[in-house]
Amino acid sequence: MHWYLVHTKPRQEKCAEENLVRQGYQCYLPTLLVEKLRQGAVTVSDEPLFPRYLFIRFGHGNSPKSWAPVRSTKGVSRLVCFGTEPARVDHHLIELLQQQRPHTTTKPQQLFFPGEKVQLGDGPFAGLEGIYQMSDGERRVIILIELLSKPVSIAMRPGSVRKLS
Burial (Cβ within 10 Å: 0-12, 13-18, ≥19) of residue 84: exposed
Domains plus CATH for the chain? 2-104 (3.30.70.940), 117-163 (2.30.30.30)
Find the mean pLDDT for residues 97-102. Answer: 80
Give the per-residue pLDDT at 65. 47
Secondary structure (DSSP) of 64-118: GGGHHHHHTSTTEEEE-EETTEEPEE-HHHHHHHHHHHHHHSSSPBPSS-TT-EE
Q: What tens digit of pLDDT does each residue of 49-91 get?
A: 999 999 999 865 544 447 888 989 999 999 999 998 899 999 9
Most confident of 29-33, 37-41, 51-55, 150-154: 51-55
Give Cα 42 distance to the centre of its chain.
15
pTM: 0.67
**Local structure of 16: helix, strand or coil:** helix
pLDDT one-digit tens code per residue, 111-137: 787 888 998 887 788 888 888 888 776
List strands edge to edge, sheet with 129-135: 150-156, 141-147, 129-135, 117-120, 161-163
